[in-house]
Structure 1
Amino acid sequence: MTLRVNGKVVTPTGVIRQGCVEVRGDRITAVAEYPSIRDGHWIVPGFVDIHTHGGGGHTFTTGDAESARAAAAYHLNHGTTSLLASLVSAPFELMRSATTAFAPLVRQDVLAGIHFEGPYLSAARCGAQNPEFLRDPSIDELTELLKLGEGTVRMVTLAPELTGAIEAIGLLTGQGVVAAVGHTDATYEQTCAAVAAGASVGTHLFNGMRPVHHRDPGPAVALLTAPNVFCELVADGVHLHEGTLTFAVATAGPERCALVTDAMAAAGMPDGEYELGGQAVTVADGQARLADGTIAGSTLTMDAALRHAVAVGMPVPDAVRMVSTTPALAVGLGDRVGALTAGLRADLVVLDDELNVVRVMRAGEWVR
C-alpha cells in the first residue's frame, strides 16, 4: 500500500510548493509535484541530532538503556527521527557499561549511534564537563570501546592538543568512527593538524574552545575554513549570539553547518535542579548552568533549533538542511536518512506555517 503525504515538500534541491512524498513500507518511493494539491503544511525530512545528552527527564549519560529509550522517545515527538546518544566525561568503566547497554539499542534502530564527548578534553576548556574525569586519549581504552561497540560507536570528541590525540584520531577514522574536535585549547595549527589526520567535525563550534583572536585564530577559524569539516552549532540563542550563528553559516554554508541540541535531561522539563556527569545543574528560564554560571548543555529540541534559525533570517530550505541533511552526512548516515529522496528511510516531519510539529513519521509509521 502506498501512503502519500502532501504539502510544501523541502527536498535537497529546493521546495516543491505543491508536492507529494510517496511512501511504501519503510521507504520513500517517490517525491513529485502534484499541481492539484493545496495542503499548505511543510513536509521536511526527519531531524538528525548528532549531539544530545538526554531529554524529557531522561539521560544518556548514566548508560541506562531504559532511560535512553525514553530520551529518544521524547525527542522523536519533536521531530528527531535519528539521534546519537552523547555521553560526557566519565570513568572508563561507565564508558564500557554504556557501550554495552546502548549497542543493542543501535542495532534495534532506537539510536543511530553512540557519541563519546570526552573524557579526552582540555581542562582549560572543559565547560560543564567534570574535570575529575579528564585525561589524555588512550589507545587501549578506545580500542576496547570500539571492539565492545561492534560498529555502534559513531563519534568521539577530543582535544587535539593532548598527548596521543593525533594517534587516536588515526585509530578512530581507520575504524570508520568520526573524530570530532571540541572542548579544546588548541592553536589554529594544532587544529589543522587534527583535520589533516582525519578529524571531520567541530563539536558545538565556539563553545568550549579557545576564543578567536586576530593574531591567534584558534580552532573555530581552522574548523570553519576546512572544506571537509562539519561544524556543530547550538542554535538556542544562549550558546551563540545570532550574529555568531549567522556568521558561521555564511562562512561554512548550510552544507557544512549542523544544528545540534546538546540537550540534557532537563529538556522539556520544568526549571529546577538536575545533574550532568556528576555535577549539579540549575535550570532557570530554560537555561542550564553550573553553580559558577557555566552553560551545561541545553533544554533545546531540534524543532526549536529550526525555528530559531529561521527567525534570525535563514531560509527554510537552508535551516532544514542544517537540522537533517547536513548532520546525517556528518556522521555517515546520509545514505539512510536526512533527506526526502526516493530510496531513503521514510522519516519526515509535518510542520505548520509557524514551523511547529504537526505530525512525525519514522520508518513509514506515524508516531503516536
Structure 2
Amino acid sequence: MAELELRHLRLVCAIADEPSLTRAAARLGVSQPSLSATLQRIERRVGGRLFERERTGMRVTELGAFLVSSARVVLADMDTLLAGTAARTRKAAGEVRIGACPGAIGPGLARHVTEMLPTDQVTLEVAGIGQLAQDLETRRLDFAVLDECAGFPLPTSDRLDIRQLVAEPVFVALPETHRLSGESAVKLADLADEDWVVAPIRDGNDQVVLSRACAAAGFSPRVRHEVNEPATSRELVAAGAVALAQPTSRSGAGIVVRPLAGDPIILERWLAWNPAGPHAKHAADVYRCAALAYVRQLDRNPDYQRWWDTHPEAHRQLTRVVGDDVTA
C-alpha cells in the first residue's frame, strides 16, 4: 500500500464514480486500455481485486470500497493542504498561474494576461488535458485552455467552470515532398498506407480519435511513432511520416499543413477555471485574453484563415468578445 501514489487514489475514485471504465477514462483524459492496465497494476500492488468487471459496468469489491472511502479522505486533506500552500506562496500583487495543452496559444495567453490583469507575475504550465484539469481542481492553476476532440467529455468535475472558445477542424501535416502536399484538402482515405506520428496513449485520446476517423474512412492507421513533443513530431513528418495537426500550425521546414477533406475530426477549445480560486473574478478578462491569443494565430496558416472566414458559426462567441481588436 505504501507504493500507491496520489494519482492512483484519484484514478480508483474516478472509476468508482463512473458506470464504466470507458467513462472513467474519458473523465481522466486517458484511453480506456491505458486506464485498464494501470488499474491492474494497482490491484497487484494492493494484493486483490478492487472492481469486478461485469456486463453492466464496474462493481466495487469489499476491498475496493475500503480503499475508495479511505482515498477520499486522503485526497480531500491533500487538496486542502495544496490549496492552502498555493494561496500562501502567491506574491502580494497576486501571481496568476495559467495552463495550456501543447501548441501555440499558451505563450500568447500568458502575454495578454500579463498586460490585462493587475498582477506582477504570470506563470505558464504546458501539459496534457488530464494534468491541467487536476491542477485546476487543486488550485495549482487558476485558468487553463483545454483541448479535446468532439465526442470526448472534458475530464473536469462540477467544481470547475468552463467556457468554449472555438470548435475547429483538425488538419494533417505531410512532408513537403508528399504526393498530396499540393492538394487544397487531403482525403483521409488517401493516407491509408502512411506511417503516423501520434501522441502516446497515456497522454490523451489522440490515438483513439485517429483510429475512429480512419475506421470511418475504411482503414486502420499504422502508428509508427508515439511522440508528444511538437518539434520532434515535425522532424518525423519532414522525414516521411504524417501526423494530425492543429489548424494554426505553420508549414515550412520540410512539412506542409493541409485541411482534411470533410473535416472528419473536430477539436474543441475551452477556457476552464476554478471558481474558488483567488483570481476567479477575472474569468471574463482571461477569456478575452485567450480569445485574443487565438485570433492572432490565424495568419499562421492561410488554409485555416479561409476556413475561419467561411465558418463564422464556429467562433461566433469568441469573435464577439474580441471585436475588432485583432492586431498583433
Tell me which interval the TM-score lies in, with the shorter structure as reference length.
Answer: under 0.3
Larger Rg: 2
- TM-score for both structures, normalised by structure 1: 0.24
- TM-score for both structures, normalised by structure 2: 0.26
